[in-house]
């Protein structure tokens, strides 16, 4: 991975040089390049990488919200054309006349042009070792060609989060119970290794056990958001981060992890004022039920409670008045097939007031995709594990995104990567 | 379900026996019994005709006769079709009161209550059955099965546990236990239960394989160990073999079976495995399985299958050994029909067409003209492999017009450099091989009628000398500029396949320099990049792939090049 990042860094430097040289020296054929994001786009996912790397190289870029599926408008440089050609990304040269008509259409519709200024520095919180499951966000970042740095408990504890703008949480269980995999995998080598390494890290960093370490990491992640960071989490990391924050002063871990049972009065002692998104959820008390709480609506690992998958629908926000939420739901499909995860969805009943629902299943008591502000930063939660592998199981091979290059579910992930690049405008509402 | 069917059949037999015994006692009673039977069979006819409304009263009338159990099952079906399953409950109560020990009545009652969604009544009916038959596992099994059908695996599991506690053992409920555990994702526990269930119920092999097929990769090794544990159990090994096939590991499927102690059961398992392997063109595995079966019992059918698998697996010598002509015990017609085609093919592949010709002459009078000509063409191929084009041509000529218009004749024409004839015959060919694709590509591009140098290279390739063939393709390319790039590209691929990468790279370079506007140029660049990636030279591979994509944007190879580029950059996971 280090070698790959080094290689990517080199190519970025080359990219920056070529873009700048091109901008200064070459007469350009068109004024701008439109990267359409409707059904005319051949590779939606790589289009995000093209845009991200163009911004990173200093090229001008705009996100045309709701225009042709949330298109991008980039500077017309030979290097951007080259990168688009290599990746098979559809681009359309736009001259001044055409650009004028696009802007006129945007001005008169539920559309907005948002300048993209600074490529966010991205960190992914993930264990250093390979795990027998993959992570949709790292798959998407790798496929799109967006550089990121992997960090874990050591880096978080020494304060490295301040180096980054955007943080994604891999499938961590912040309650420190390793997703209760103990129930099914206690004798499997990868689980034994994971348990040993996490326990050793906790001791090394001065914590009594793994749950104590993870609670502290959760607090530091909350501080990161409060100071202005962008947090994006999927699957079980959403639910367990919140549980860890609320359980600051109560033992919610089962005895197989810390040697003591969950506090029988834990439900009452949870402090929901410390969380970002949820309140008044109820903990799963049984160590033998593979669920953490009633935050998740689908309960995929509890056969008696498991709910079937349906579809979820993206909300349509006002691009001019609510550009942030609009950015997060830019897509060429409004209705998307649902997919399971350790946490698949979020029950409406436990959402805090003020949480923005970005997508939900019609008629269901749960929502799929939520967003909110906390302090100076924002957080976004997206339920489920892998948008193109709805029943993903431990040990399954990772998804090959070259087979799903137009995935509407994966687009939502990449919207999150790009939206911190947007130049902030005050909300008009 | 099986036990229910057995029970129903038994009830019918008992019913017939009772009717027979009462026959001599009273003509009136005999007439009544006949009337009951008539009602039942009339009801069956009406049901078969889709007349459920008319069938229902007749089934109902037969409930208290000797055919009562079957009439109840018929009534259950009819009411279900009519959406009147609740009408079954009253007669069921009466039947159960009159015969509380009849399992079918109880089972139908549970099934009906479940279909009506009356869960509380269902539980009460189950409890009543348990009270009525405290030593029977049937109530637990039937109730657990119904819960499993409703995806209530945890509840089903608890019912089995309840039964185990009450009866002191779960040995009659292993099937339900296994299904409940699998439904809960407890693969290892489920596998243990399946292994126990299979000890006494070998017909559950398919069910076990189906239930455990979704086992995630991380748990598969544990499942394997459970089924492979000693002592060897044939049913468990067969289930594991099926599982391995469904997991895409046919080699492991054979591993599960190969150590079975040879007996008739094992031989059946080997033969079954071979059948599946044959259907998937896994000829080496099929051959191993069939050879194992042959060691237990030698039959002509198994010998021929094993020999065919050996030829298809590329071991024609073994085919001659596995199915010798002596197996036919001098039955000339059988030899001509079953053994001769196999032996001719094997001998041709071994480069011994003369022996094949002698065999053909010996049994020719038992062959139809069509079969004869097919064998002659096979033998002609053998002559080609030995390089004796004259005899190959002569053999084909002997088959008349059919031989002259065959695929083999097309290839012979190509080998002799007669492009005009080859063009006509190969285009209408029935084969589908890489060699034919190459030949057709060449024919399409090459307009001249004669090209002995190309024919010579193809002939050398057919004889299996790839290195010499590559050199001859290069010579032909130097001599024929019109198809130079195609011939050089073919030579480069042969050099790369034989490990002579320096020559391959030289030819790819030459194509990109001299023939950059031909279709072979992007192809050469893609193959070169793939070669570099395998060598670990990521930078050079990337350069070539990017050059290909940007220089030949409309080439059909661009999607493949993009995929290669993504693999080079680790943007997508490598293929498993």
pLDDT at B562: 94
**CB atoms B219 and A184 under 8 Å:** yes
**CB atoms A397 and B576 under 8 Å:** yes
* Residue spans of alpha helices (H) in B297-433: 300-312, 316-322, 332-334, 340-349, 353-363, 369-386, 389-398, 401-404, 407-415, 419-427
Q: Residue A397: which pLDDT band, with cuts at 50, 70 and 90?
A: confident
Which residue among A86, A142, A303 sits closest to B565, beta carbon to beta carbon?
Answer: A86
pLDDT at B154: 81
Q: Residue A131: which pLDDT band, with cuts at 50, 70 and 90?
A: low
Calpha distance B290→B281 (Å, rounded): 14
A394: nearest CA in chain B? B216
Token pair listed for B175:
């099937």
- Residue B112 C-beta-side C-alpha neighbours within 13 Å: 27
Mean pLDDT of B238-250: 85
**Is A88 at the interface with chain B, CB within 8 A?**
yes
Residues on chain B touching A397 (C-beta within 8 angstroms):
573, 576
Q: Which residues are bridge partners to A283 per DSSP?
A: A293
Tell me if residue A250 falls in helix, strand or coil: coil
Calpha distance B256→B98 (Å, rounded): 51
Instruction: Write the ipTM.
Output: 0.76
Mean pLDDT check: name the lowest of A93-102, B285-294, B312-321.
Answer: B312-321
Residue B11 has pLDDT above 90, yes or no: no
Dihedrals φ, ψ of A367, to 5°?
A: -125, 165
Indicate which of B161, B566, B575 best probes the interface with A, i.e. most A CBs within 10 Å of its own CB: B566
Share of chain B above pLDDT 90, in %: 26
- For the segment B103-114, what is each residue's pLDDT rounded down to a tens digit? 889 999 999 998
Calpha distance B357→A313 (Å, rounded): 73
pLDDT at B431: 52
Q: Which residues are bridge partners to A113 per DSSP?
A: A64
Listed by number, the residues of chain A in 397-416 with a beta carbon closer than 8 Å to a beta carbon of chain B are 397-402
Tell me if residue B469 falls in helix, strand or coil: helix
Q: Which residues are bridge partners to A380 per DSSP?
A: A232, A371
pLDDT at B24: 32
The DSSP call for residue A340 is: -
pLDDT at B425: 81
Q: Residue A13: which pLDDT band, with cuts at 50, 70 and 90?
A: very low
Residue A26 has pLDDT above 60, yes or no: no
Which position has the token pair 């590991």?
Answer: B249
Mean pLDDT check: name the lowest of A23-32, B198-207, B411-420.
Answer: A23-32
**CB atoms B154 and A304 under 8 Å:** yes
Residue B25 has pLDDT above 50, yes or no: no
A344 compared with B207, residue with greater pLDDT? A344
Q: Catalogue the long-range contacts made by B334-339 (C-beta closer than 8 Å, 24 or more residues apart).
A: B334/B300, B335/B363, B335/B366, B336/B363, B336/B366, B336/B367, B336/B371, B337/B366, B338/B300, B338/B304, B339/B304
**Is B563 at the interface with chain A, CB within 8 A?**
yes
B217: nearest CA in chain A? A395
pLDDT at A3: 38
pLDDT at B28: 43
- Our CA-based measurement puts residue B154 at a distance from the nearest CA of chain A, in whole angstroms, of 7
A428 compared with A411, residue with greater pLDDT? A411
**CB atoms B217 and A132 under 8 Å:** yes
Residues on chain A touching B212 (C-beta within 8 angstroms):
none
- Our CA-based measurement puts residue B184 at a distance from the nearest CA of chain A, in whole angstroms, of 6
**Is B225 at the interface with chain A, CB within 8 A?**
no
Calpha distance B163→A32 (Å, rounded): 75
- Our CA-based measurement puts residue A306 at a distance from the nearest CA of chain B, in whole angstroms, of 10
Average model confidence (pLDDT) for chain B? 83
Residue B32 has pLDDT above 60, yes or no: no
Indicate which of B540, B565, B572, B576 best probes the interface with A, i.e. most A CBs within 10 Å of its own CB: B572
Mean pLDDT of B140-152: 85
Which position has the token pair 């967006």?
Answer: A146
Q: Which residues of B399-419 are buried (b: 16+ CB within 10 A; e: fewer)?
A: beebbbebbbbbbbbbbbbbb
**CB atoms A395 and B219 under 8 Å:** yes
pLDDT at A302: 83
Residues on chain B touching A10 (C-beta within 8 angstroms):
none
Which residue among B184, B216, B573 sits closest to A394, beta carbon to beta carbon?
Answer: B216
> Quick count: other Cβ atoms within 10 Å of Cβ B147?
26
**Is B183 at the interface with chain A, CB within 8 A?**
yes
**CB atoms B572 and A402 under 8 Å:** yes
Q: Residue B187: which pLDDT band, with cuts at 50, 70 and 90?
A: confident
Q: Residue A424: which pLDDT band, with cuts at 50, 70 and 90?
A: low
Residues on chain B touching A134 (C-beta within 8 angstroms):
573
Mean pLDDT of A131-154: 89
Mean pLDDT check: name the lowest of A46-60, A125-139, B357-371.
Answer: A125-139
pLDDT at B400: 64
- For the segment B417-450, what is each residue's pLDDT rounded down to a tens digit? 888 888 888 776 655 566 777 888 888 888 888 8
Closest of A279, A276, A248 to residue A347, by C-alpha = A279
- Our CA-based measurement puts residue B187 at a distance from the nearest CA of chain A, in whole angstroms, of 9
A90 compared with B158, residue with greater pLDDT? A90
Mean pLDDT check: name the lowest of A22-31, B20-29, B292-301.
Answer: B20-29
- Our CA-based measurement puts residue B192 at a distance from the nearest CA of chain A, in whole angstroms, of 14
- Our CA-based measurement puts residue B542 at a distance from the nearest CA of chain A, in whole angstroms, of 11
Dihedrals φ, ψ of A368, to 5°?
A: -110, -30
Mean pLDDT of B160-187: 82
Residue A12 has pLDDT above 60, yes or no: no
B547: nearest CA in chain A? A86
The answer to whether B89 and B96 are in contact (CB under 8 A) is no
Residue B40 has pLDDT above 90, yes or no: no
Residues on chain B touching A15 (C-beta within 8 angstroms):
none
Closest of A343, A291, A304 to residue A183, by C-alpha = A291
B214: nearest CA in chain A? A393
Residues on chain A touching B573 (C-beta within 8 angstroms):
134, 139, 397-400
**Is A188 at the interface with chain B, CB within 8 A?**
yes
B180: nearest CA in chain A? A303
pLDDT at B371: 81
Pairing between β-strand A230-234 and β-strand A166-169 as defined by DSSP bridges: parallel
The answer to whether B242 and B207 are in contact (CB under 8 A) is no
Count how many pairs of residues, chain A against chain B, have C-beta atoms within 8 Å.
76
Share of chain A above pLDDT 70, in %: 89
Residue B405 has pLDDT above 70, yes or no: no
pLDDT at B171: 78
B60 compared with B177, residue with greater pLDDT? B60
Q: Which residues of A350-359 are buried (b: 16+ CB within 10 A; e: fewer)?
A: bbbeebbbbb
Q: Residue A133: which pLDDT band, with cuts at 50, 70 and 90?
A: low
- For the segment A229-273, what is each residue's pLDDT rounded down to a tens digit? 999 999 999 999 999 999 999 999 988 788 888 898 999 999 999
Residue B382 has pLDDT above 60, yes or no: yes
The answer to whether B375 and B339 are in contact (CB under 8 A) is no
Q: Residue A20: which pLDDT band, with cuts at 50, 70 and 90?
A: very low
Residues on chain B touching A395 (C-beta within 8 angstroms):
216-220
The answer to whether B140 and B162 are in contact (CB under 8 A) is yes
Q: Residue A7: which pLDDT band, with cuts at 50, 70 and 90?
A: very low
Residue B229 has pLDDT above 60, yes or no: yes
Q: Which segment, A39-53, A244-258, B250-264, is predicted with the most confidence on average?
A: A39-53
Share of chain A above pLDDT 90, in %: 71
**CB atoms B573 and A397 under 8 Å:** yes
**Is A393 at the interface with chain B, CB within 8 A?**
yes
Residue B300 has pLDDT above 60, yes or no: yes
A82: nearest CA in chain B? B550
Note the Cα B234 to chain centre separation in Å.
20
**Is B152 at the interface with chain A, CB within 8 A?**
yes
Residue B2 has pLDDT above 70, yes or no: no
**CB atoms B218 and A400 under 8 Å:** no
Non-local (6+) Cβ contacts of A76 within 8 A are A28, A29, A30, A31, A32, A33, A93
Peptide bond into A383 cis (omega under 30): no
Residue B401 has pLDDT above 80, yes or no: no
B515 compared with B436, residue with greater pLDDT? B515
């Amino acid at each position: 991975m280090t070698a790959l990042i080094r290689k990517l860094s080199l190519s970025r430097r080359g990219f920056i040089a070529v873009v700048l040289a091109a901008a200064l020296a070459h007469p350009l054929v068109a004024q701008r390049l439109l990267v359409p994001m409707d059904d005319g786009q051949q590779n939606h996912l790589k289009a995000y990488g093209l845009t991200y790397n163009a911004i990173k190289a200093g090229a001008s870029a705009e996100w045309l919200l709701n225009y042709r599926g949330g298109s991008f408008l980039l500077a017309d440089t030979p290097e951007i054309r080259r990168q688009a050609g290599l990746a098979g990304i559809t681009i359309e040269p736009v001259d001044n006349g055409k650009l004028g008509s696009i802007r006129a259409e945007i001005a008169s519709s539920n559309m907005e042009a948002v300048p993209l200024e600074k490529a966010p520095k991205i960190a992914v919180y993930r264990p250093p070792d390979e795990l027998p499951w993959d992570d949709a966000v790292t798959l998407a970042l790798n496929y799109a060609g967006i550089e990121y740095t992997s960090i874990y408990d050591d880096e978080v504890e020494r304060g490295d989060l301040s180096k980054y703008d955007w943080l994604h949480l891999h499938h961590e269980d912040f309650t420190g119970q390793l997703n209760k995999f103990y129930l099914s995998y206690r004798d499997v080598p990868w689980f034994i290794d994971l348990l040993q390494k996490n326990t050793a890290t906790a001791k090394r960093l001065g914590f009594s056990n793994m749950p104590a370490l993870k609670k502290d990491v959760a607090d530091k992640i909350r501080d990161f958001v409060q100071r202005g960071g962008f947090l994006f989490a999927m699957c079980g990391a959403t639910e367990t981060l919140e549980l860890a924050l609320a359980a600051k002063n109560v033992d919610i871990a089962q005895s197989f992890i810390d040697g003591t049972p969950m506090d029988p009065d834990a439900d009452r002692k949870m402090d929901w004022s410390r969380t970002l998104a949820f309140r008044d959820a109820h903990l799963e008390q049984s160590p033998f039920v593979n669920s953490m709480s009633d935050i998740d609506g689908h309960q995929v690992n509890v056969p008696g409670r498991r709910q079937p998958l349906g579809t979820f629908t993206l909300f349509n926000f006002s691009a001019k008045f609510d550009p942030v939420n609009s950015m997060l739901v830019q897509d060429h499909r409004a209705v998307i097939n649902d997919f399971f995860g350790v946490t698949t969805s979020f029950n409406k009943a436990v959402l805090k007031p003020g949480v923005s629902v970005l997508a939900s299943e019609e008629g269901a008591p749960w929502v799929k995709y939520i967003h909110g502000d906390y302090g100076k930063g924002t957080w976004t939660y997206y339920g489920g594990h892998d948008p193109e592998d709805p029943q993903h199981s431990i040990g399954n091979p990772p998804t090959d995104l070259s087979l799903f290059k137009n995935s509407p579910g994966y687009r939502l992930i990449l919207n999150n990567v790009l939206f911190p690049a947007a130049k902030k405008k005050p909300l008009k509402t | 379900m099986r036990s229910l069917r057995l029970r129903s059949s038994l009830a019918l037999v008992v019913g017939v026996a009772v009717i027979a015994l009462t026959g001599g006692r009273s003509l009136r009673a005999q007439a009544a019994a006949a009337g009951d039977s008539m009602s039942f069979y009339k009801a069956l006819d009406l049901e078969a005709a889709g007349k459920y409304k008319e069938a229902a009263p007749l089934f109902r009338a037969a409930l208290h006769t000797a055919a009562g159990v079957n009439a109840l099952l018929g009534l259950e079906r009819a009411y279900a079709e009519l959406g009147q399953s609740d009408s079954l409950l009253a007669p069921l109560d009466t039947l159960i009161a009159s015969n509380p020990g009849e399992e079918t009545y109880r089972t139908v009652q549970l099934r009906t209550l479940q279909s009506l969604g009356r869960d509380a009544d269902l539980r009460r009916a189950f409890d009543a059955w348990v009270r009525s038959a405290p030593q029977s596992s049937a109530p637990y099994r039937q109730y657990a099965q119904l819960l499993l059908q409703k995806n209530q695996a945890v509840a089903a599991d608890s019912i089995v546990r309840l039964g185990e506690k009450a009866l002191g053992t779960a040995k009659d409920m292993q099937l339900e236990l296994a299904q409940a555990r699998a439904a809960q994702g407890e693969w290892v526990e489920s596998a243990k239960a399946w292994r126990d269930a299979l000890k006494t119920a070998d017909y559950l092999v398919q069910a076990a394989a189906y239930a455990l097929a979704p086992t995630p990769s991380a748990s598969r090794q544990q499942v394997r160990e459970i089924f492979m544990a000693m002592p060897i159990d044939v049913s468990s090994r067969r289930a594991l073999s099926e599982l391995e096939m469904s997991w895409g590991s046919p080699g492991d499927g054979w591993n599960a079976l190969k150590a079975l102690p040879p007996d008739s059961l094992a031989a059946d398992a080997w033969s079954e495995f071979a059948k599946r392997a044959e259907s998937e063109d896994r000829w080496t595995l099929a051959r191993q399985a069939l050879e194992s079966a042959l060691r237990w019992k030698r039959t002509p059918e198994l010998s021929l299958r094993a020999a065919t698998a050996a030829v298809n697996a590329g071991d024609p010598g073994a085919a001659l050994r596995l199915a010798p002509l002596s197996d036919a015990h001098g039955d000339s017609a059988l030899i001509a029909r079953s053994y001769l085609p196999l032996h001719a093919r094997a001998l041709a592949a071994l480069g011994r067409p003369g022996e094949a010709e002698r065999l053909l002459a010996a049994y020719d009078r038992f062959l139809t003209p069509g079969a004869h000509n097919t064998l002659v063409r096979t033998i002609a191929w053998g002559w080609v492999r030995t390089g004796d084009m004259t005899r190959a041509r002569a053999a084909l000529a002997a088959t008349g017009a059919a031989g002259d218009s065959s695929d083999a004749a097309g290839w012979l024409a190509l080998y002799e450099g007669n492009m005009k004839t080859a063009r006509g015959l190969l285009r209408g060919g029935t084969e589908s091989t890489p060699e034919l694709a190459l030949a057709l590509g060449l024919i399409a591009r090459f307009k001249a009628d004669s090209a002995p140098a190309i024919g010579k290279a193809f002939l050398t390739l057919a004889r299996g000398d790839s290195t010499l063939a590559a050199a001859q393709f290069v010579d032909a390319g130097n001599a024929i500029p019109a198809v130079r790039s195609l011939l050089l590209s073919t030579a480069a691929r042969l050099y790369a396949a034989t490990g002579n990468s320096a020559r391959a790279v030289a030819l790819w370079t030459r194509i990109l320099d001299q023939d950059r506007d031909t279709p072979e140029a992007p192809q050469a660049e893609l193959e070169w990049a793939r070669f570099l990636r395998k060598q670990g030279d990521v930078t050079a591979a990337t350069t070539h792939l990017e050059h290909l994509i940007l220089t030949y944007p409309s080439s059909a190879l661009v999607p493949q090049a993009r995929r290669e580029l993504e693999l080079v950059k680790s943007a997508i996971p490598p293929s498993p």
